[in-house]
Amino acid sequence: MTFAAQRGILGIPLVLVPALGVTQGGYTPDAWVWSGALAAWACAVAVVVTSSPGALRRAWPWAAASGALLLWTLLSAIWSVNAAQSVLESRRTLLYAAVVLALLLLARPDTQRLLVPATHVAIAALLIYALARYLLGTRRYDEFEQYLLQQPLGYANAVGILSVLGLLLALGIVAGTAPRAARAAAAASVPVLALTLDFSQSTASDLALGAGLAVFALLTPATVRLLAAGAVLIPAAAISVGIGSASHFASIVTTPRIPGSVVLAVTVACAAVAAAAVTYVPLPVSQAPSRRLRLVLVAAVLVVALGAAAAVAVSGTKEPRALYYHVAWHDEFLAHPALGTGAATFGRYWLRFGKPLDFGGALDAHSLYLETLAELGPLGLLLLLAMLLAPLRGALARRRAPYVPAAVAAYTAFLVHAGLDWDWEVPAVVVAALCCAGAVQAAELEPGRPLGRVVRGTLLAVSATLGACAIAGARSNAVPAALPETTRAPQSGALVRTRV
């Protein structure tokens, strides 16, 4: 097995997540051209370099569901009220399908030991850059984001959920059995990621973090070690968040109370303290929790679940989010219950609703699941759920594999957040989450019999087709918008970024 085949999977998070992140999170169509082509190229290389099936034989439903969702999204252009936007949406979905296929073909036994740390490094590097730019650069007011940490992704809520993914992966590395240097490096990132989460002011991300921690605590067989790792990291993270909150950097004030350079210096000191604490404070040996501790954990999970339900209910009653949900349900789904209105058509119905003058032009319903139901119908929602949930099949049986609980926890946090925001439109977030799912699929992978020539030829053809379609998108001038190009009024395609 060549070095390229064995380590190639690391390029997906290490290249795509930061590169998409610094280009507005990959929101614009030009980012899908090169990122989709790179993912398809990785698939082709995997097929050419080795005949190993990776995780494809065991996890083929994930690849099949991704491909089916892509085809259904493209087919929706036939009945769509805005066919050009539906085709555009299929280009973004192509990127996700190519990433899923690449993750499966490049997976090798115990790949999660490399993939989880690589995904954490990619997220941490992106957000460290974002934090330094935010604290040391010129402070600018944004109409929608105000003074929140939003660049270079262009959306504060995207910064928030990426921070959550990074925190959960870091906790998994610290509580695991990685070398001391790797655990210290992961620990050092926690105060930074906690501060970026605080500066995003994303309530939905806080909710996702709670859900991820609950799943982590229930799934991991080393609960006591996990709790000990959290206790070691909390003081430094709390100080970092405290100095950030006291600075009022993310508040609507003319001048922060504490200069950004001071906040950054304190955060760096907290990172060093966290790294030293993990290095010199021994964690307990992995052990199963007692019955009493399990009961406490179950009770905590129930409290989190009830709080989450209440938070979702409250957020769903606030404007404009409640109006987004109303339009998606009443104007789109109930009016077109069989097939939906076509992919990426919510913006047009929002314009018809007559509220853009009050709340701005919105292109997304701020809930992946409701929007998919409204635009692609029940079958589209089933295909989406099949794609998103397929990687979790068998996760419980693989929970003793290194980093699997952390990967499942991070992926769960993404699934929760996607139900409350438009994560699907930010490829940097989705690719990071898919890498977490890919780590779960790679756990305890056994070498399989080589792929036959026919199968390899078919996979190579599929990879080439995906890459060609991604590159062909460079010839298109279409951008996310509410109306067709010929009827679009000035600013009709603008998007509003509401807080939750």
Residue 315: its H or E element? helix 291-316
State how far the Cα of 437 lies from the Cα of 418, in Å rounded to an integer.
15
What CA–CA distance (Å, rounded) separates 105 from 53? 6
pLDDT in tens, 48-95: 988 888 889 889 999 999 999 999 999 999 999 999 999 999 999 999
| pLDDT recorded at residue 432 | 98
Q: What is the DSSP string of 370-388?
A: HHHHHHHHHHHHHHHHHHH
- Cα(153)–Cα(396) distance, rounded to whole angstroms? 33
Between 486 and 386, the higher pLDDT residue: 386
Which percentage of the chain shows pLDDT scores above 90? 67
Give the pLDDT band (50/70/90) at residue 312. Answer: low
- What DSSP letter does each residue of 184-241 carry, written as one string? HHHHHHHHHHHHHHHHHT-HHHHHHHHHHHHHHHHH-S-HHHHHHHHHHHHHHHHHHH
* pLDDT tens track for 239-273: 999 999 999 999 887 789 999 999 999 999 999 99
The span from the CA of 492 to the CA of 428, in Å, is: 25
User: Mean pLDDT over all residues of the chain?
Assistant: 89
How far is it, in rounded angstroms, from Cα 93 to Cα 95? 5
Report the length, in residues, of the chain: 500
pLDDT at 318 over 70: no
**Residue 182 token pair:** 């790797």
Cis peptide, bond prior to residue 320, ω within 30 of zero: yes
Confidence at residue 355, expressed as pLDDT on a 0 to 100 scale = 65
Which whole-number Å values give the CA distances from 466 to 41, 91, 94, 102, in the listed order? 9, 10, 7, 11
Cα separation, 427 vs 93, in Å, equals 9
